[in-house]
Each structure stands twice: as C-alpha cells, then as structure tokens.
C-alpha cells in the first residue's frame, strides 16, 4: 500500500491529480483510467479491477491510498462538535470513551476518521447508523503512525497540526504518507466524488 497526501489543496479536483501521480509512480499508468462507482458508491477502475484506491479530502488536504487489496481512507480537519450532535453519532461506549478523554475535539476526530475509513474500506457506506459501526477505542489519543489491529483489518492513524487521518486495510498497517504540493500535480479535469 502507498499513501499520497496533498497539502495546500485549493480545488477538490486536485485529489484526482494526487491519484494520477500515485498511479504513475506506483503502477506505471501514464493516464488516469476511467472511474466508475460500485453498487454502494465506492469508486473503482472498471478497466483495472485489480487496482484499488480510495480518496478523501478535508479543508486544504487530500489523502489517496493505492493497494492491491481493498482500502479506505479518511482525513478530517479538527473541529469542535456540539454534544447533541455527538449523542446521535456515537454509541454509548464511544461516548463514554470520548468523555473519558475530556470530550477532546482531537479524540472525536480520531474516532470519526476510524469510522469513515472503515465504511470506505468495506464499500458499504452508511447503510447502518454511524453509531453502530464498531472501531477500536484506544486508551488515549494516539500519535501519527500508530497501528491498531482490529479483527480482520488494521487501522493506521496519521496526524498533523489541525488534522487527523485513518487508513483501513486488511491485516497490515501503512507506513507513511508521501506529501505533495499542488504544484507537483498534473492538471486533471474530473470532479471528485462526494462522500
């Protein structure tokens, strides 16, 4: 698995430029293949079904994963959440976990990226309430690069000033993100899929 990150994104379509760079460097594809959606909306390459990818974006950052196996990624800016909002999104166990960490926005963002990356990994999307989607609950906010095995999947957590990210993949963790700037991307005129 390889991960590419973009810092300084000004247009959501730049995430496709990030994907194009990853495809060229990782799989020697000079052009971005056509992209379709699976039954539940997960993006895929119909002409290259063996090549798996996933994209996420938030604020000025985007994240792209490429692998031979299914993969899910999520990146989020850290923001404050209202308590009533949290009660609708989290299971009682998750809410207790978050309160135990001082209701910290960074802890919530870590939890949210775990849930989103798992949903994107499975390709099922939000076919059940987000509060019913189980993810690991570590005893503390974990540092960037932390690996969390959980059943048949592994989560890797990444973070930086003002953001958190998670990658979900089968039974192995990601090692690092290769960060790029907008100037390193080819122009790509495709729209980024909505989450």
**pLDDT tens digits, residue range 41-62?**
899 999 999 999 999 999 999 9
Q: How confident is the model at residue 194 (pLDDT cuts 50, 70, 90)?
A: very low
Reported in sequence order, the residue ranges of the chain that DSSP labels E, i.e. its strands, are 2-7, 36-37, 43-44, 52-58, 61-67, 72-77, 147-150, 153-160, 163-170, 178-180
Please tell me the predicted confidence (pLDDT) of residue 12: 87
* Average pLDDT across the chain, whole number: 90
DSSP state, 131? Answer: G
Q: How far is CA 23 from CA 3, 32, 77, 90, in A?
A: 11, 7, 26, 36
- The structural domains of the chain, with segments of one domain joined by +, span 2-184
Going by DSSP bridges, is the β-strand pair 72-77/36-37 parallel, antiparallel, or unpaired?
Answer: unpaired
- The 10s digit of each residue's pLDDT in 74-131 is 999 998 766 777 778 899 999 999 999 988 999 999 999 999 999 999 987 667 788 8
* pLDDT, position 188: 66
- CATH assignment, 2-184: 3.90.470.20
- Mean pLDDT value across residues 151-160: 96
At residue 10 the predicted structure's pLDDT band, cuts being 50, 70 and 90, is very high
**Per-residue pLDDT, 187:** 77
């Amino acid at each position: 698995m390889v991960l590419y990150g973009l810092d300084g994104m000004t247009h959501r379509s730049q995430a496709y430029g990030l994907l194009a760079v990853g495809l060229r460097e990782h799989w020697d594809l000079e052009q971005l293949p056509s992209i379709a959606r699976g039954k539940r909306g997960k993006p895929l390459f119909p002409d290259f079904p063996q090549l798996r990818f996933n994209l996420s974006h938030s604020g000025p950052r985007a994240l792209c994963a490429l692998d031979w196996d299914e993969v899910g990624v999520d990146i989020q800016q850290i923001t404050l959440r209202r308590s009533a909002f949290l009660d609708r999104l989290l299971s009682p166990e998750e809410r207790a976990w978050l309160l135990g960490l001082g209701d910290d926005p960074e802890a919530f963002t870590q939890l949210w990226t775990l849930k989103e990356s798992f949903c994107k990994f499975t390709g099922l999307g939000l076919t059940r309430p987000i509060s019913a989607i189980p993810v690991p609950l570590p005893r503390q906010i974990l540092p960037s690069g932390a690996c969390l095995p959980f059943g048949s999947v592994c989560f890797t957590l990444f973070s930086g000033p003002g953001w958190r990210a998670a990658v979900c993949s089968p039974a192995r963790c990601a090692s690092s993100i290769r960060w790029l700037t907008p100037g390193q991307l080819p122009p790509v005129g495709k729209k980024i899929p909505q989450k």
